[in-house]
Structure 1
Amino acid sequence: MPWPQRGSRCGWQGGIRSMGRTRGRRSSPSGELRRAAAYIRVSTGMQAEEGESLPAQQARLHAWAKENGYVIVREYVDAGESARTADRPQFVRMLQDAKAQPRPFDSVLVWKWDRFARNMEDASMYKALFRRRLGVELVSITQPTPEGAVGQLLERMLDLIAEFQSALTAENVYSTMAYLAEQGRWLGKRPFGYDLRDGRLVIKPDEAEAVAWAFRMVARRERSVYAIAEGFGTGNPFPATLARGYKWSPTAVRKMLQNEVYIGRATWNRRYTDIDHVDGKSTKIRGYRDPSDWITVENAHPAIVDEETFEAVQRVLEEYSSRYPKSKRGEYLFWGMVRCARCGHHLTWHETKKSPARLVCSEYFRPRHMACRPMVYIRPKDLEEAVIGAIQEIIAGAEQTPLTFAIPKQARAASPEALLAANAAKVQRLLEAYEAGAITLDDLKTRRTILEQEAERLRQAAASKDSGPDYEAQVAALRERLTDVLAILQDEEAPVAAKNQALGAVIREIVIDREAQRIDIHWRPIEEDLQQ
């Protein structure tokens, strides 16, 4: 049930005031207004609810601020966002601004605590971060709590209730959507070939014609997936394929040809999206649910393709997959090291029954209007012989041309002094995280020991650092490392992964220039050893 509003006889706020001084009611002795930020979150379902809409929250926050000695200097609004994750762009921006120096505000005002966070874990973490680490006051204008232990208890009770309400809302939404899906309603974006009217899919003639043509062409083996993608990407023969700004890659065409929606079958709850929080960042994770959780409805909408044609297309696609298998990943020598001189993309392994294995520019296989052509390729055996030959020349001191040492990446090119400063900042953040209760004492000790060991190594590197190694020193150091690498490459029993690891320690990348008939090896410089 909702909390009683201000002014009611059994009002929540009246009871709170009797317990002691309340957070958010502090007036400056000099009458100076306190700078505040207003954080407003409105979920999609709340947009039209009276009292919870965006304008209503804004009006109440500004009125409360004026009455209680605050001035709102910034507003952060997440409209249509969920409170169950940290994936709220304006909330993240507010947190970043709170860390800035000078800080633009000293307080954050929210309408209710569930606008700030809607589960216990997030609420505890972010409240501790704002209050203890950043020194920012947090105020709920409709749910004020007293200072001290009683206030902390009440806030946690409110956070727990908000989490319960969020879970209950999610269950209700799922039940409603499941019911609509069982009735044949379409609950996602409209697929190409259809329009969406009153929650149901109806055929869009100009697009449906292109879909039916693609299925016929593949079923009869008159067009390949790549040829269809190329035609759709140029609007030939159907201009409708360009109307919605589609990027018709072979993958997009293949997904269309495998989509059961075109035979009138609607499936809901097939996939899920979750949020993984790592190092303060939110990463979306997508996957497929168990088929027992899917809701499938036959004849939910008009079909564009009959089932016989659809099944014929699936057989052709399966045949294509077996004839042209995906590139190997990590199972071949030089994996991830070879690039095309023309477009800069990687060369990947390709092998068919009719042609020998080759490393081919990955962009060659895109539709013609986007492809890197003519083909840039090299046979793996030829590349292996060339690299081993170059290594042997360097070891013998007989290299024909000056060696190319790759410029270290910006993240790795930092001086030991700069890395020491970054290390010290990490230690400080650890201490602040411990003070805020975000990590335990054991975590603090373990991570601090690791950082102290790293700092000692960096101090030694800084003490021995001169103006930087010259070319001769680079070659001498490389020659010393290549002796061990060559032994691993020539060991027939060594696994490919071990050979790639050895090569990756000395080679940044290998650039293939087919037009100039050149193989350029970019060696790793000595400086990179300091950061590895």
Structure 2
Amino acid sequence: METKKTVAVYVRKSREEETEDTLKRQQAVLTELCERNNWNYDVYTEVGSSQELDRPELQKMLSRVKLFHYDAVVSSDQDRLSRNVGHLDQIKQTLVNAGCLFVTPSRIYDFKKDDDDFISDIQSVLSKQEYQKIKARLIRGSRQSARDGNWLGKKAPIGYKYNRDTKKLELSEDSPVIEKIFQLYVDGLSTKDIAYKFSNERVKTLVNMTWTPAGVTRLLSNVVYAGHSLYGKTNQKKIDGKRITAYTDESEQILVENTHEPIVSQELFDQVQQLKKERNSRPPALKLGKHKFSGLIRCGICGAVHSFQTSRYNRKRISSCQTRTYTTGNSYTVCPNKGANLSEFEELFYSYFSQHVKQLEQYVDLIKANGTNDAPDYAQEIESKIKQIAKLNNDIRRVQQGFMMEIFTQAEARVQIQQLKQQIKILEEQVNELKESGNVTELDRVELTLEKMKRFLTHGDKLPEREANTILLELMETIVYTKTDKEMSIKIVMK
């Protein structure tokens, strides 16, 4: 008596497809085919792109195929599995390895046979061409819909609500808030001032907007508030499994004017854009690139990192601290830490740096005199970390088994495995560091640091700015800088 076959029925609908009963129609045809042939079947159904391989239901089905659970995979066409040639080849290889056939309503494929594999490849090329045509039609349709004034965004911007009947934007109760932001900016308040003012006054919106300078800047830059719609400003590409957002070229963007009622006039919007440009631009003479002290000088009063500039007399300067402390309303005080000519700062810095070199030389002499030059023994600590790595690898295998047994979903398993692998990576780095440290004595370590410090003290002024900055970042944590009156003080915090 012949054993009854067990098959997997795979049903997929693309996100772009608008027909809601597409999945039901596919499933009905395929399950009828199974029942007509007296096959046992499991149904896997999902909505997802044909260009993505990590669809949850597809991966769940393939994992069971690998365990020889099915005699065949049944689908309406092979493009339901994938329209991506590379991905389809991977799926076909999985079926071949498991001795699993692929069945459609019109044909049974055995990909181990050259003829079936050849026909499949031809269909794959045709399917890809059809996909490109569908994509082009969707883009043309979107452009025309946008030109008709319909809102195509995923959600309505703050200040508007979406009318499902007209498919257009309408003013919401938040629109006065947006109008006030534009007016305050023209009146002289910065984005930081506006964010603080709205946070302090507990200004609320329907989406519970958190007021930040960056958030206010995005609102001020959005052309939607002048009554226009802009689409395609960014796009998403999938790189190494991650979606990366990037800005598109202006030629690829769709700007449709006067699609809805504006919150601010075109004149006010243009005025704000001009003000933003003027406030954010600095004369080229005042700009200064990477400097040897970049990222190192911290304010001794508030802890902020100081920046650098070139004065009108072409002198390099440490900028005054710009940290604001708000009191009530829009009033604030600025940190009193003043700027200074870089030449004055460097003179004081090299004096203090020389003292650190002398102290380190004395420490080297002390080590040599006491004979405390044994390399530390990290063997026990290394062994402990290796055992932890082995345990984490076992945990990964248990999660994989749990996924196979359907204890975890694919998403849950992936998250757990990623976390475990991250822990393993950290432990492996620690083991390597301990092994390297175990071969270096305290004297070797201090003498190496001392050599770098002496080299910088002798040749620091001759090094390129970036190279000098890299050396200083290796040697020290920060330089605490204070100058309130004419007197300057610094403190070098070494690593």
Out of 315, 321, 326, which is 2:274 matched to?
315
Aligned to 1:122: 87
Change (3 A) 1:217 1:399: farther
Change (3 A) 1:350 1:105: farther
**d(CA) in 2 for partners of 1:97 and 1:339?**
55
**d(CA) in 2 for partners of 1:120 and 1:135?**
20
Aligned to 1:477: 445
Classify the secondary structure of the residue corresponding to 1:179.
Answer: helix
Aligned to 2:216: 253
Query: Which whole-Å deviations, capped at 9, do the CAs of 1:282-317 have from their partners, x for residues lacking one?
Result: 34241222x334332322211111122222222321
Confirm or deny: 8 A CA contact 1:249 1:366 kept in the other structure: no
**d(CA) in 2 for partners of 1:472 and 1:318?**
54
Aligned to 2:229: 266
1:195 pairs with 2:161 = yes
One-letter identity of the residue aligned with 2:275: V
Aligned to 1:450: none
Change (3 A) 1:267 1:106: same
Cα distance, 1:179 vs. partner?
A: 0.9
Aligned length: 412
Aligned to 1:151: 116
Query: Which whole-Å deviations, capped at 9, do the CAs of 1:17-75 have from their partners, x for residues lacking one?
Result: xxxxxxxxxxxx873765x665543223435254x32x444555566567565553x84
Aligned to 1:494: 463
Change (3 A) 1:264 1:467: closer
Equivalence map 1:391-410=2 (5 Å):
393-394=359-360, 396-397=362-363
Aligned to 2:330: none
Query: Which whole-Å deviations, capped at 9, do the CAs of 1:199-256 have from their partners, x for residues lacking one?
Result: 212211x2110011111111111x220122234446x36322xx21333321121121
Cα distance, 1:166 vs. partner?
A: 0.9
**d(CA) in 1 for partners of 2:31 and 2:119?**
25
Change (3 A) 1:286 1:468: closer
**d(CA) in 2 for partners of 1:68 and 1:339?**
77
Classify the secondary structure of the residue corresponding to 1:46.
Answer: coil
Aligned to 2:3: 31
Cα distance, 1:512 vs. partner?
A: 8.0
Equivalence map 1:279-298=2 (5 Å):
281-289=241-249, 291-298=250-257
Cα distance, 1:491 vs. partner?
A: 2.5
TM-score (norm 2): 0.64
Aligned to 1:18: none
Classify the secondary structure of the residue corresponding to 2:230.
Answer: strand
Classify the secondary structure of the residue corresponding to 1:82.
Answer: coil
Confirm or deny: 8 A CA contact 1:106 1:136 kept in the other structure: yes
Aligned to 2:13: 42
One-letter identity of the residue aligned with 1:495: P
Confirm or deny: 8 A CA contact 1:119 1:160 kept in the other structure: no
Query: Which whole-Å deviations, capped at 9, do the CAs of 1:88-147 have from their partners, x for residues lacking one?
Result: 4526854995799x798787554431122113233234534x357x75846344453244
Q: Which moved more, 1:247-256 or 1:137-146?
A: 137-146
1:213 pairs with 2:180 = yes
Aligned to 1:357: 318
Structure 1: gaps (5+ residues): 1-28, 408-412, 423-457, 523-532
Aligned to 2:410: none
Cα distance, 1:174 vs. partner?
A: 1.0
Query: Which whole-Å deviations, capped at 9, do the CAs of 1:162-199 have from their partners, x for residues lacking one?
Result: 21121111111111111112222221132111112222
1:163 pairs with 2:128 = yes
Cα distance, 1:271 vs. partner?
A: 3.1
Out of 190, 208, 213, which is 1:224 matched to?
190
Structure 2: gaps (5+ residues): 328-332, 367-375, 379-383, 394-427, 483-489
One-letter identity of the residue aligned with 1:199: K
Classify the secondary structure of the residue corresponding to 2:235.
Answer: strand
Query: Which whole-Å deviations, capped at 9, do the CAs of 1:381-406 have from their partners, x for residues lacking one?
Result: 58965677546643552699xxxx9x
**d(CA) in 2 for partners of 1:485 and 1:519?**
13
Q: Which moved more, 1:383-392 or 1:167-176?
A: 383-392
One-letter identity of the residue aligned with 2:3: G
**d(CA) in 2 for partners of 1:207 and 1:311?**
21
Bigger radius of gyration: 2
One-letter identity of the residue aligned with 1:169: I
Change (3 A) 1:417 1:265: closer
**d(CA) in 2 for partners of 1:105 and 1:366?**
68
Classify the secondary structure of the residue corresponding to 2:19.
Answer: coil
**d(CA) in 1 for partners of 2:454 and 2:306?**
23
Change (3 A) 1:324 1:199: farther
Confirm or deny: 8 A CA contact 1:107 1:139 kept in the other structure: yes
Change (3 A) 1:414 1:203: same
Change (3 A) 1:217 1:496: same
Aligned to 2:147: 182
One-letter identity of the residue aligned with 1:150: D
Change (3 A) 1:30 1:99: closer
Classify the secondary structure of the residue corresponding to 2:258.
Answer: coil
One-letter identity of the residue aligned with 1:317: K
Out of 80, 83, 90, which is 2:56 matched to?
90
**d(CA) in 1 for partners of 2:77 and 2:288?**
51
Change (3 A) 1:30 1:494: farther
When the two chains are superposed, the root-mean-square deviation of aligned CA atoms in Å is: 5.3
**d(CA) in 1 for partners of 2:324 and 2:132?**
46
**d(CA) in 2 for partners of 1:184 and 1:511?**
55
